[in-house]
Structure 1
C-alpha cells in the first residue's frame, strides 16, 4: 500500500460518466469491433502520462511551472499560460455537472428517486469533504478503492455476459472502421486521453516523490493504474456488446437491458460503477483546475492555501448549481469543446517541448523513440482537435 501513487487518481479521472457512456454506445452499436481504439488510446495515454510523471519527478515542477521556466519570450509565455488556464477552468467547470450527474444517476437506482432532488447536493458535499480534509495519501487510497470498485463491477458484468474470446482478440488487434463508426472511435480515444490529466499527474508526482531514483516506482504505478483503467473501459464495451438495442444510450439503460439476462446483480453492479465513475471525476476535475490555475498564475502555497481551495470550490459549486437547477449550459459546453479541440494537441506539443529541455531533465530527457511516439500522438490529437472544432462549428456531424 505504501507504494501506491497518484496513478490511480489519473485512472479514476478519465473513467467518468462520459467515458462510460461512450463505451456503452460503442459496444451497443458495434460490439467488440472498436476495442482496438481503446487499446490505442490506452497506449497513447501511457506514453503521455509517463512523460508528465517523469517531468514532475525529475524537475520538481508541474507542467505549467516547467513551461514558465523554459519559454524565453515573456509575451508568448504569458499568452500561452493564460490560454491554458482559462481553457482548463472553463472546460472543467462545464463538465463538472456531467460528472455529478453520473453519480446522481447511480444513486437514483440504488436508493430510489423519492429524494433525487437532493442527490446532487449529497454528491457535491462528499466531493467537498474529500477535497477539503483529505491529504494526498488519503486521496490515493480513496481512488484506489474507487478504481477497484469499478473494476469489480464492470469486469464482473463483462464476464457474466460470456463474450467469445475470438471476438475479443479480433476487436483488440484487428483495427477496422465499420460504417458510421468514426465518431465512436474519436469518442473512445478522446475520453481516454484527457488534457488536464497531464497537468494533474506532474503536480501530484512532484508532491509525492522527490528523487529521480523513484522513477521505476513512478512508472510501475502509472502502468498498473492506467492498465486497470483501460480494462474497465474495455469491460464496459464488452458488456454493452451483448445488447443490440437502440434504446441503450447510457450505463443505466444497459443495466435495465441486462437485468432480464443476469438478474438484479447487473443493475446493482453497473449502478455502483456509474456512481464511482461520477464521483471520481467530480473530485479530480476541480482538483486539476486548481493545480493548473496555481501554476499558470504563479500562486504560492500548497493545496491548503486559500487561492487553491477557491478554484476547486468554484468549479464544484457551479457544477452542483447547474445540476440542481436543471441548467443546461449548452453554450458553455460548446465553448469548452472548442477550447479542448485546440488544447489537446497544444498541450501534447508543449509536453514534448518540455521533455526535451536538458536544463530541466538533464539525462532524463526523451529518447528518440519516445519523441517518435509522442509525435504520432500529436498527429492523432490534431485530427481529434480538428474534428471537435468542426463539430462545434457545425461542419461535422
Structure 2
C-alpha cells in the first residue's frame, strides 16, 4: 500500500517542479516551434553543424533578455510596452512599431506552422490510409481547419494556468522526442566542435539561414510577453531568484532541444547531400537512415513543436495590445476573442493556397529579427533608469550582456536585409 501511495506523490512532485518554471515554459513554446525545428532541420541537412555558434549566442542572449524583462516586471510591477509608452521618449511610437512588427512576424510564422503541422498529420494519416495520398490538398486543409478550431476553442477557456499545463505537455513530448532521436542519429564530435567557430555558409541562402536562426531563437515576442506571464504566475519580489533560474533553464533547454534537432538532421542527411526543402523530404530522407521508430519519434516531436507554437502565436497580438493599453491581459474580453479569431483565420492562408510551408516558415523567421534591436534598446533604457529600478538598477555584468545582445541583433538585422534583397 505504501508503494502505491508514494507513486502519485512522486508524480505530483515532478509536475510541481515543472510548473514552478511556468513563464519559462511559454518561452520554450514561443521559441521552439516548427519555425525553429524547420530552420534547424534545413540548416543541419544543408550545412551540417556549421551554424551551431549562432544558436549558442542566440540562446545566451535570450537568457539575458528573459532575465532582464522578468526582473524589471518584478521590481516595478509594470509590463514592457506599457513601460515603454510611459517612461521613454518616443515610447508610444516605439511600442506601436514593436506591436505591428512582432504581430506580423508571428502571424506569418503561424501560417507556416499550421501548414507544416497539417502536412505532418497528413503524412501520418497516409501511412494508415494510403488511398488518401491523391487528396493531399483537401485532407491538409481539413486537418488545418480542425487543428486551428481546437486551438481557438482552448484559448476561449481563458486561464493562465490552463495555457501553462497544455504547453507543459507539448514541450515535454517535443523535448524528449528530439533528445531520444539524437541517441539514434548523431554527427561526429569534431563537427560539433567546428560548429562553435563563427562562420557563415558562403552559398545561396546562407545569410538568410543565419537571420532565420536568430529570428526564431531570439524571438522578441518571448521577452516582451515575459512580464505578463510573470504577473500571471503571481510572482513578486520574493521570487527574484526563481525568476532568474527560470530564465537560465529556459535558455539552456532551448539550446539543448534546438541543437538536438540540428544534430539529427546533420547526422542523418548532411553527408548524404540531401538538403530538406519540402515537408515530404523529411519523411523520405530520414526513414532509411534513422529507421521507422526514430522517424516516428522525430515527427512526433516536430508535431508537438508546431502545436506548442500555435498557442503562443495566437496569443501574441492580444498580449502586446493589452500590455500597451494597461499592462493587464484579460483573456475573457471581447477584444481578446476577436483578435485571436482573426489570427486563426490568418493562419489558414498557407493551407488554403497550398504554398510551400517550409519556405514560408524560414522567410517569416527572417522578418522577426527587424524589431529585435528596438526591443533590446528599450529594456536597456528601462533597467538603467534609477528612478524606476532604485537599488535594483542594472549592474555592469547585465549591461555588458545587453549591449552585446544589441550589437549582435543589429548585425543580424543588417544581414537579414541583405538576405531578403538577395532573395527577391
Q: Is TM (by shorter chain) over 0.5?
A: yes
Aligned-residue offset at 1:358: 2.6
Structure 1: distance between partners of 2:161 and 2:80: 21
Correspondence 1:290 to 2:318: yes
Aligned-residue offset at 1:254: 3.0
User: What TM-score do you get using the length of structure 2 for normalisation?
Assistant: 0.84
Equivalent position SS for 1:150: helix
Structure 1: distance between partners of 2:193 and 2:365: 33
Corresponding residue for residue 150 of structure 1:
174
RMSD in angstroms over aligned alpha carbons? 2.7
Decide whether the 8 Å contact of 1:49 with 1:222 is kept in 2: yes
Correspondence 1:60 to 2:77: yes
Q: Deviations over 1:91-143 (max 9, x none)?
A: 22222211211221221122235633311111102211221115211222221
Aligned-residue offset at 1:333: 9.7
Correspondence 1:78 to 2:92: yes
Structure 2: distance between partners of 1:34 and 1:339: 19
Corresponding residue for residue 163 of structure 1:
187
- Is the helix fraction higher in 1 or 2? 2
Aligned-residue offset at 1:239: 0.7
Structure 2: distance between partners of 1:274 and 1:336: 18
Aligned-residue offset at 1:82: 2.2
Structure 2: distance between partners of 1:84 and 1:376: 21
From 248, 270, 274, the equivalent of 1:246 is 274
From 219, 227, 232, the equivalent of 1:207 is 232
Corresponding residue for residue 123 of structure 2:
109
Structure 2: distance between partners of 1:380 and 1:125: 39
Decide whether the 8 Å contact of 1:199 with 1:291 is kept in 2: no
Structure 1: distance between partners of 2:258 and 2:361: 24
From 384, 389, 408, the equivalent of 1:356 is 384
Structure 2: distance between partners of 1:23 and 1:131: 29
Correspondence 1:383 to 2:406: no
User: What TM-score do you get using the length of structure 1 for normalisation?
Assistant: 0.89
Structure 2: distance between partners of 1:160 and 1:334: 27
Structure 1: distance between partners of 2:285 and 2:361: 30
> How many positions carry a matched residue from both structures?
390
Which stretch shows the higher mean deviation, 120-129 or 355-364? Answer: 355-364
Equivalent position SS for 2:347: helix
Q: Deviations over 1:1-33 (max 9, x none)?
A: 151311111112111222112111221122223
Gaps of 5+ in 1: none
From 364, 385, 395, the equivalent of 1:367 is 395
